[in-house]
């Protein structure tokens, strides 16, 4: 099988230019840092489009396929526009994501609204903007969605999200398909849900079932198990209730290569496994080939992104570690502190200088756990050097915060030696723009 973009640590356009600096998308990273400041998120358009095309090519042998990008990985107007232009729909989990993909010009019929606790306002927004599918997570939502759809005189296409009882060997916080999960109906509960839809909820049109088994998955057998369980479940429901469910949503979860020891399957590997298993399971259960949905997120955007930092202070612990601090950290990348995630990095202005020391990269935030990289080999470091951390497209900006009252970082899109700002850096005035001092305190405010 050919490689796909998720199997590379660096964006596809990464090079060392004539100045001896690292470049991505034809743009010198040190020049980007100087122009836009740091920390700076950088998205390589070529890499982003390449992985979208990898997926389309990988699944081209199966006609009944709908590809949805899991927006939670990174949701912005520009990235949504690119991904939509590449033919993807969107898996969204909030009103904010719905509104973003809508304003980016996406086809809302190709949007699926997912999530375990959708609010009334979010459901009404989705109904107003014509979201194509709802993945219903629980009994309360079934009732609420039926009421809200009825109030608009609409019939809504839905999938039932189920927990298929599959555990992946990934971090426990990103396992979602096991039985003890906050997400979805247990398979023992699906008959009760179908009974309600068939007998009482006349504004809901059940189309199939949905599962998501986890994130940063390197195994392949789990996808075979998931396909077989879901096809078996819609076949059982069809036979029992005389329905014609024909959709299964397999979620996403394909891993990416953060460090050299990571070995994720390619999109082509996963596609072959899924398609072969669908054919076998359809024959096994004597049912028609279903329409399938897949929802890659991390594997679409992660490799396309890097983050640039400026090196600052250093500290040598006697007989211990040597720390170098950067001007960002856990507020722009929460994953090392939250998931013990590991990253690869180089000095963008010294990419060819041999490494000479093993150091720890610390963040600037007031937490001992604010460590970006616990151990990495780098050349001699000077204050002002630019550190490029790879594979930060997924969940870095999405999870960013204003911890320690720090402004959120800017994001630029690079392609063909051109850079364009796609998210502005927050200002100090932005930080306080929603703060209010009550009138009764104003006499004490200068």
Active site residues: 366
Q: Find how far residue 380's CA is from the centre of its chain.
A: 35
CB 186 within 8 A of CB 160: no
Q: What is the CA radius of gyration of the chain?
A: 24
Return the number of other C-beta atoms located less than 10 Å from residue 384's C-beta.
11
Query: Considering Cα of 158, then 164, then 170, then 175, what sign does the dihedral take?
Result: positive
Query: Distances in Å between the alpha carbon of 181 and those of 163, 249, 293?
Result: 8, 18, 21
Q: Which residues contact 312 (CB under 8 A, 6 or more apart)?
A: 324, 325, 326, 327, 364, 383
Q: What's the per-residue H, E or C state across the chain?
A: CCCCHHHCCCCCCCEECCCCCEEECCEEHHHHHHHHCCCEEEEEHHHHHHHHHHHHHHCCCCCCEEEEEEHHHCCCHHHHHHHHHCCCEEEECCHHHHHHHHHCCCCHHHEEECCCCCCHHHHHHHHHHCCCEEEECCHHHHHHHHHHHHHCCCCEEEEEEEECCCCCCCCHHHECCCCCCCCCEEHHHHHHHHHHHHHCCCCEEEEEEECCCECCECCCHHHHHHHHHHHHHHHHHHHHHCCCCCEEECCCCECCCCCCCCCCCCHHHHHHHHHHHHHHHHHHHCCCCCEEEECCCHHHHCCCEEEEEEEEEEEECCCCCEEEEECCCCCCCCHHHHHCCCCCEEECCCCCCCCCEEEEEECCCCCCCCEEEEEEEECCCCCCCEEEEECCCCCCCCCCCCHHHCCCCEEEEEECCEEEEEECCCCHHHHCCCCCCCHHHHHHCC
∠ CA 135-137-143, rounded to 5°: 95
């Amino acid at each position: 099988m050919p490689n796909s973009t998720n199997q590379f640590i660096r964006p596809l356009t990464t090079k060392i230019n004539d100045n001896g600096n690292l470049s991505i998308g034809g743009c010198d990273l040190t020049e980007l840092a100087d122009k836009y400041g740091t920390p700076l998120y950088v998205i390589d358009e070529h890499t982003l489009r390449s992985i979208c095309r990898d997926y389309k090519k990988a699944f081209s042998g199966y006609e009944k396929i709908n590809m949805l990008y899991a927006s939670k990985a990174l949701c912005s107007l520009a990235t949504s526009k690119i991904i939509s232009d590449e033919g993807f729909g969107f898996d969204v989990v909030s009103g904010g994501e719905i509104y973003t993909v809508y304003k980016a010009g996406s086809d809302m019929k190709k949007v699926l609204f997912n999530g375990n606790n959708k609010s009334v306002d979010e459901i009404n927004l989705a109904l107003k903007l014509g979201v194509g599918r709802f993945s219903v997570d629980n009994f309360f939502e079934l009732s609420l969605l039926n009421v809200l759809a009825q109030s608009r005189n609409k019939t809504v296409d839905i999938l039932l999200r189920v927990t298929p009882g599959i555990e992946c060997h990934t971090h426990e916080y990103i396992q979602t398909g096991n039985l003890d999960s906050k997400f979805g109906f247990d398979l023992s509960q699906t008959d009760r849900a179908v009974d309600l839809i068939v007998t009482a909820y006349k504004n809901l049109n059940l189309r199939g079932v949905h599962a998501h088994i986890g994130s940063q998955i390197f195994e392949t057998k789990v996808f075979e198990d998931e396909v077989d369980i879901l096809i078996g479940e819609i076949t059982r429901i069809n036979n029992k209730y005389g329905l014609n469910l024909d959709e299964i949503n397999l979620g996403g979860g394909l891993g990416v290569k953060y460090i050299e020891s990571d070995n994720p399957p390619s999109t082509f590997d996963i596609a072959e496994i899924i398609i072969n298993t669908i054919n076998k399971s359809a024959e096994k259960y004597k049912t028609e080939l279903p329409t399938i949905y897949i929802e890659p997120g991390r594997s679409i955007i992660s490799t396309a992104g890097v983050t640039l930092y400026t090196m600052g202070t250093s500290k040598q612990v006697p007989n211990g570690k040597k720390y170098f601090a950067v001007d960002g950290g856990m507020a722009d990348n929460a994953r090392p502190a939250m998931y013990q995630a590991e990253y690869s990095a180089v000095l963008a202005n010294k990419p060819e200088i041999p490494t000479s020391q093993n150091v720890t990269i610390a963040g600037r935030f007031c937490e001992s756990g604010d460590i970006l990289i616990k151990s990495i080999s780098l050349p001699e470091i000077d204050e002002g050097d630019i550190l490029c951390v790879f594979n930060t497209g997924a969940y870095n900006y999405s999870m960013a915060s204003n911890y320690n009252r720090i402004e959120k970082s800017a994001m630029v899109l690079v392609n063909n030696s051109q850079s364009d700002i796609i998210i502005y850096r927050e200002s100090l005035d932005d930080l306080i723009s929603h703060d209010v001092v009550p009138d009764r305190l104003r006499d004490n405010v200068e």
